Amino acid sequence: MLWRGARDWPLFLTGKSMIVAGGLNAKVVIYPIAEGSSPASRLTNWAVLVKVGEGNVPPPRKEDWSRPGRREELMPHVARFSVPYIDVKSLISATPEFYEYPTCDRDPLPYWSSGRVTLLGDAAHPMYPVGSNGASQAILDARCLADALVRAEHPRQALLEYEKKRLPMTADIVRSNRRGGPEGVIDAVEQLAPDGFDNVDNVLSYSQREAIVRGYATKAGFAAVPGLAAVRA
């Protein structure tokens, strides 16, 4: 379940910083999204994502993307976070309105296209919202489909080419996001040092952490292609 809200709040760190704290089972994400009411504040977005509905716990309510959140359900989860530089509990408690979003995905489909019709974006591959992939993969779908339509002699040929390229790639991302996506680096550190640490490099080196994040970027199609800018120029 994801709860999200925004509140005018004193700036923290650089005033443009983003905090991600927690792992696959529970995390809080905080970042500024607009100027605040004064130079010393920012309109600050927060999100709390918690895994619920496992074991004997009933599943979350049916998907609804505009349901007001219930403070009595959210705050027990908030209590588990202790984050430097910002008082998470006070920020969320001071937010008058917030919303809940049941996060869900679907198993990858065997095909997307039928005749002259195909799927794109969330209709083709709904996935957990990690790694900035909600809109990003839809954009990559659209680019791939447009390129295929330009090259193909017949639209149906283009749809098949598009599906052949994009379906396995997005299916891989759906499965990866179930394991935490790029934020899986946090879970890797937590598994190795469940009681905390003084220096993260003693737990997992920078090169190892970078490999996890860059590996996901390559999988998701975000990695920079050497020489591409020069070719386009």
What are the residue numbers of the active site? Answer: 31
Measured between its terminal Cα atoms, the distance across the chain in Å is 44
Q: What is the CA radius of gyration of the chain?
A: 20
> CA 116 to CA 155: how far, in whole Å?
7
Stated as kind and residue range, the H or E segment containing 209 is helix 206-220
Beta strands, E only, 83-227: 99-101
CA quadruple 99, 9, 37, 72: dihedral, nearest 10: 30
CB atoms inside a 10 Å sphere around CB 16: 9
> CA 140 to CA 223: how far, in whole Å?
13
- The length of the chain in residues reads 233
Least Cα distance to 226 among 96, 1, 112, 218 occurs for 218
Residue 112: phi, psi to the nearest 5?
-115, -30
Tokens at 46, concatenated: 């927060």
Tokens at 54, concatenated: 């496992």
> CA 102 to CA 73: how far, in whole Å?
13
